[in-house]
Structures are given as structure tokens and as C-alpha cells.
């Protein structure tokens, strides 16, 4: 039987509506709440937003959850969650604020206290003990500030350190990321020397320093930060993101400018030492990194390629090896310009990216045996304008896929 073009169009439209109706009517068993921070609009005065999505336990499909809330500022750039999943923090670059929200068991966010950072916040993190909030800030200089936490509330500054490269104290250092070891004993900050690396800038580089760095700090009594021996450590050209495995043995950094993943072993005293067989190839302009809760796999979001690269971690050496998907490709396609990535907190079975230019979230199903990824049904999922950060908390009483060092 042959159909006219009009009949074919009608059939396709009918089938599409049927599928959409089935997806809407299906009962989603929520395993996680996924939070995405984005801009409310294109204007500089528009407030930031936090959107909430329910994650289906079987398929990883997203459904709109609790109502959108104001991020408490403008241009939110980073989010962090306490290990008990009771508190969420948002760093807003537009008004230099860090906002604390309490988290209910049903995913409701309630704004609590607000602080003003010393400079524009770039990245934030909370230690596993939930005793300190770390805020990395600066657009002309780099600073890490540690705030005390009490039942989630942000308290006073307990330590503050300026990031400078030895021998180049006048160079402009720009921070990009922060990571806390799960034992809460050390904090690492990625940054690059703009005086040594500034392509497309108004002035040529003025320094002979190495451009990329990781600054390491030991956490002492009362939260005092002290530089680890040998810090800062070289980190390519323009480090963009940092993550550590849950056993506190390895640290990984993405190099945005050189399209590579740099690996380190954590030595005694929290000193970093290069993995002997690195660095490792990524896609173009890697912008974000996540490690699954079991410490088996690494996932890197490549902003220019609009892809995710998956790696298997050698438990003996920390060496990452690229994982291919079912099509034999090591790159997994996302929507446009993924700038944030995470593995879901509950089961460690789903990977999500926030796509800055795509105004969307891309979802993948993680194969727990191989680490390979497969796109979820109906991905990508629409968000508000220019999403920049993601956070995930489990829903319900169930076991959490994680490693206890």
C-alpha cells in the first residue's frame, strides 16, 4: 500500500504524539533528584535559577520535579551538596554570593543563609565531614577561602590563601576548579597563569612561567590550610576541572587547551606525583570531569566536540583507558557545549551533562561492567537558559553505590 505525502506526515505525527503520551503517562520511579543551575534570561540583571528533575530508576529519563527556585543571585556557576544530602550550596558569579539551601526528602529547596565571597566565585566544594565549605574565587587573582559549617549553615572564615606561582608573584592567576579528598584531609585547586597563557587576549603573554597548575593544601586543626610539599604542581596549559577517586589515591585534571587528561597519584602528605604513563587524550576542550561512586570509571565532558569520553581506571596504577561504546566509538554525543558532568548519586548508573549552548541536559545509561555509555530515552532534556552546573541527591531509602576508603 502506498501513502501520499500528506498521509505519511499524518502517520508520523500521530505516532510521535502517541509516544509522547506514553512517556508522560508512564509512572517514573524516582531514584535521584537532579538539580541544574542556569540563567533566567539573557539580560545581565536576570536572576539565576535552579531547576529540579526526577530521575527514573530504570531508564534514567528525566521528568520536571519541584518548582523552579531563584539561585539567590545572578549567573550561578557552581553547586555542591553535603554528603548527607541535606544541604545544597550555589556559587553565583554575578553578585559574588554563595547561597545555602536546605534539601527535603522530596527534593524541595529552601533558601537559608547567604554570604558574599571575597571575589567572584568560580568553584565551590564541601568536605565529606560536612564541616567546611571551600570557595575558590577571583577574576584577576585567585583565592581559596574555607568557611565553617554547622548543620549546613555557613559560618565564619577559618582559613584563606592566595594562589601565587613561586617566582612569579605578580602574575595573574585564574582559578578553575576545586576538589576535596573524601578523607577531608586535603584540598586541591586548579588554576592557570594568564600572564603566561592568554590566547586572544588584549596583551601578549608577559611571563615565562608554566601556565597550568594544581595547588595542594593540607587541612589542619580548625580547618587551617597549609600548602602541601612541592605545591603548586604543574598541570599542562589550562586546567579546567579536577576530580579525585573515592579511595583518595588518584587525582585527575582536564587540560582545556591541550585536549588531555592529566593523572596524579596522591603520595604521603597529600603530595601529587604524575602518573608515569600520562597524559591521556580527550576530546576537544575538555571542560568538566566526574568519577563514578565506585571509583571505576572517569567521564570527561568535551565542550567543543559536544561529547563525553569514558575511561576505565586501573585500580592498581590509576591509569585511565578509553572505553568504547556499543558502536565502537570512544566519544558519546551530547547536545551543544557540555560544561558540567556528573554520575548520579544513588545508583551510579546514569551520567548527565549540562549543555550550555544547547539549553539542555544530555543523559546516558552507564554499563556498570564496562563503563560504556548509551544515550537515555528522549535525551536531550530541555532546561532554562545557559545551564552551567549540576548536582544530584538520592531519593528514598536504598543502598548507595560508593566506596568507603
Q: pLDDT digit of tens for each residue in the chain (405 aa)?
A: 343 434 443 443 343 334 434 444 455 688 899 999 998 765 555 789 999 999 999 999 999 999 999 999 999 999 999 999 999 999 999 999 999 999 999 999 999 999 999 999 999 999 999 999 999 999 988 999 999 999 999 999 999 999 999 999 999 999 999 999 999 999 999 999 999 999 888 777 999 999 999 999 999 999 999 999 999 999 999 999 999 999 999 999 999 999 999 999 999 999 999 998 999 999 999 999 999 999 999 999 999 999 999 999 999 999 999 998 877 788 999 999 999 999 999 999 999 999 999 999 999 999 999 999 999 999 999 999 999 999 999 986 444 555 443
Determine how β-strand 233-234 pairs with β-strand 320-323: unpaired
pTM score, whole prediction? 0.91
Residues 6+ apart with CB under 8 A from 142: 136, 162, 163, 173, 174, 175, 189, 191
> 293 is written with which cell numbers?
561512586
For 120, other C-beta atoms within 10 Å of its C-beta total 18
Q: What is the pLDDT of residue 92?
A: 97
d(CA 223, CA 226): 10
Indicate the SS3 state at residue 48. strand
Q: Specify the 3-state DSSP secondary structure of 22.
A: helix
pLDDT of residue 203: 76
C-alpha cell belonging to residue 303:
565542550
Task: Calculate the CA dihedral of residues 221, 190, 41, 48 and round it to 10 degrees.
Answer: -10
d(CA 5, CA 10): 9
Do the Cβ atoms of 254 and 214 come closer than 8 Å? no
Residue 77 grid cell = 556557576
Segments making up each domain of the chain, as ranges: 28-394
**DSSP assignments along 335-391, one per residue:** SS-EEEEEE-TTTS-EEEEEETTTTEEEEEEE-TTT--EEEPTT-SEE-SEEEEEEE
Sign of CA dihedral 268, 270, 272, 276: positive
Domain 28-394 has CATH 3.40.50.300: no
Phi/psi zone of residue 95: left (φ > 0), alpha (ψ -120 to 50 degrees), beta? alpha
Question: What is the model's pLDDT at position 5?
Answer: 39
Q: Long-range contacts for 154-158 (Cβ within 8 Å, ≥24 apart)?
A: 154/89, 154/98, 154/100, 154/113, 154/115, 158/132, 158/222, 158/223, 158/224
Amino acid at each position: 500500500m502506498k501513502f501520499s505525502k500528506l498521509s505519511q506526515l499524518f502517520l508520523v505525527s500521530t505516532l510521535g504524539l502517541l509516544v509522547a503520551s506514553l512517556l508522560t503517562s508512564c509512572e517514573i520511579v524516582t531514584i535521584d533528584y537532579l538539580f541544574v543551575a542556569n540563567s533566567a534570561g539573557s539580560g545581565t540583571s536576570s536572576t539565576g535559577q535552579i531547576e529540579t528533575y526526577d530521575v527514573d530508576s530504570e531508564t534514567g529519563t528525566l521528568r520536571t520535579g519541584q518548582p523552579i527556585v531563584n539561585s539567590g543571585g545572578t549567573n550561578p556557576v557552581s553547586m555542591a551538596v553535603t554528603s548527607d544530602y541535606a544541604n545544597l550550596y550555589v556559587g553565583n558569579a554575578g553578585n559574588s554570593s554563595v547561597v545555602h539551601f536546605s534539601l527535603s526528602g522530596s527534593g524541595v529547596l529552601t533558601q537559608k543563609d547567604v554570604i558574599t565571597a571575597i571575589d567572584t566565585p568560580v568553584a565551590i566544594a564541601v568536605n565529606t565531614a560536612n564541616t567546611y565549605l571551600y570557595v575558590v574565587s577571583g577574576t584577576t587573582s585567585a583565592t581559596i577561602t574555607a568557611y565553617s559549617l554547622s548543620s549546613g549553615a555557613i559560618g565564619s572564615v577559618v582559613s584563606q590563601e592566595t594562589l601565587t606561582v613561586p617566582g612569579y608573584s605578580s602574575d595573574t592567576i585564574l582559578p578553575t576548579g576545586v576538589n576535596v579528598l573524601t578523607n577531608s584531609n586535603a584540598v586541591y585547586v586548579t588554576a592557570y597563569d594568564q600572564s603566561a597563557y592568554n590566547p586572544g587576549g588584549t596583551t601578549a603573554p608577559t611571563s615565562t612561567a608554566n601556565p597550568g597548575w594544581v595547588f595542594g593544601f593540607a587541612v589542619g586543626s580548625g580547618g587551617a590550610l597549609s600548602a602541601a610539599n612541592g605545591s603548586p604542581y604543574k598541570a599542562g596549559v589550562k586546567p579546567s576541572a579536577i576530580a579525585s577517586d573515592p579511595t583518595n589515591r588518584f587525582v585527575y585534571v582536564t587540560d582545556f587547551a591541550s585536549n588531555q587528561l592529566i593523572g596524579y597519584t596522591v603520595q604521603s602528605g597529600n603530595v601529587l606525583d604524575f602518573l608515569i604513563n600520562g597524559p591521556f587524550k580527550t576530546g576537544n576542550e575538555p571542560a568538566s570531569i566526574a568519577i563514578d561512586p565506585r571509583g571505576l570509571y572517569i567521564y570527561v565532558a568535551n565542550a567543543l566536540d559536544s561529547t563525553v569520553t569514558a575511561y576505565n581506571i586501573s585500580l592498581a596504577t590509576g591509569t585511565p583507558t578509553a572505553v568504547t561504546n556499543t558502536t565502537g566509538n570512544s566519544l558519546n554525543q551530547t547536545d551543544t557545549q557540555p560544561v558540567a558532568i556528573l554520575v548520579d548519586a544513588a545508583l551510579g548508573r546514569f551520567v548527565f551533562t549540562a549543555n550550555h549552548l544547547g539549553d539542555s541536559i544530555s543523559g546516558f545509561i552507564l554499563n556498570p561492567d564496562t563503563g560504556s555509555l548509551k544515550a537515555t530515552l528522549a535525551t536531550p532534556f530541555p532546561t532554562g537558559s545557559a545551564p552551567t552546573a549540576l548536582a544530584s541527591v538520592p531519593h528514598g531509602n536504598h543502598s548507595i553505590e560508593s566506596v568507603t576508603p
